Structure 1
Amino acid sequence: MPKIVDHQKQKEKVAQAVWKVILKSGIEKATVRNIAEEANLSVSTMRHYFTNQSELLYFSMELIIERMEERIKNRVQQFEGSPFDAAKRIVLFFIPSNEEEHMELQVWLSFNAKALSNNEMRKLIDKMYMDMYKGMEWALHILKESKWLKSEVDMKLEIDRLYGLVDGLAIHRILKPDILTPEDIEMIISHHLKELCKEEFENRV
């Protein structure tokens, strides 16, 4: 009886091999041959799934986005506590908190450089950042709709400011992990969100 191959799982295996090659040797070494070797597949088998390097890198980027979005969906269902807790949790989704998320973001930063010369990859970069922006928007709207947000807050400005803060903290977490611990980052986010809330809610934060 012929062996049934799960082609989606095989493609995901290849994508994970892409990540490993990038982490070990950099994106310039993410050639079809090197990735095939990492995935323990022949180059001809690789060509069956991806006709060129661009297709392979594109799929690997898509998989990171899908995994991130799946984590968010799963965690949204576990919301407990106050509107402040919910808003903070959404914001922290976008900052790596464990080894797997750290690895994904590190690979993603390598993709950013490659995307400068590849329009299709650039679209995925834009999608990822738009997801992050919508996350910041969502977090602040939770506070606003729950009447926790100060009435004078400029929503557009504060969404932009929070987006910039989170993007910077996420990159800092990758480049200088020993300077800011996950606890430090959570404290920074809490402090930032607390400044946007009405005084009457401070003792509930």
Structure 2
Amino acid sequence: MLKDEVAKAFKIIQDGGIILYPTDTIWGIGCDATNTEAVKKIYRLKQRDEAKSMIILLDNDNKLQSYIAEVPEIAYDLIEFAENPLTLVMPGAKNISPALIAGDGSVGVRVSSNEFCQQLIQRMRKPLVSTSANISGKPSPQYFSQIDQEIIDGVDYVVDIDQHSMEIKNPSTIMRLDPNGSFEFIRR
């Protein structure tokens, strides 16, 4: 079943579509992080200001250098030893859609521990966009049953995994990390 869902989601993403999917945190809306048209579809669906950037998911930390110009050494330790999902906001974003890069040149990156996400990202050979499955300004849904019908109807595919799970997952911790290794918490 997991393999089938990965294949279906991959086909949609390959065709420039957007998906609604479970992550290691809350449900997300995603697409190919290199496809600007698909990224813009997500902004429209969420009614979100394009100045508010979204994050990208990777399947492992050895791909960081493909998307961040200078990865501080501490980033690898932070990812390895984080007890909760961790998003690192780092400057020098590259090889992704300009629509995902903040005004200061940064992007948020999380290495996902979710099996579906990992397999999909491996299949894509590209990062996966991830943003909470809600209309901008509304609360983030804790689980699938709380997702607005407008979001469900607005995506090209809803991944059929964990839809009945009532496990409450929290959004990731977010840290801004500079190339010199200094950091600050944005969300704990």
Taking structure 2 as the reference length, the TM-score comes to 0.29
Mark the structure with the bigger radius of gyration. 1
The structure showing larger relative contact order (alpha-carbon pairs under 8 Å, at least 6 residues apart) is: 2
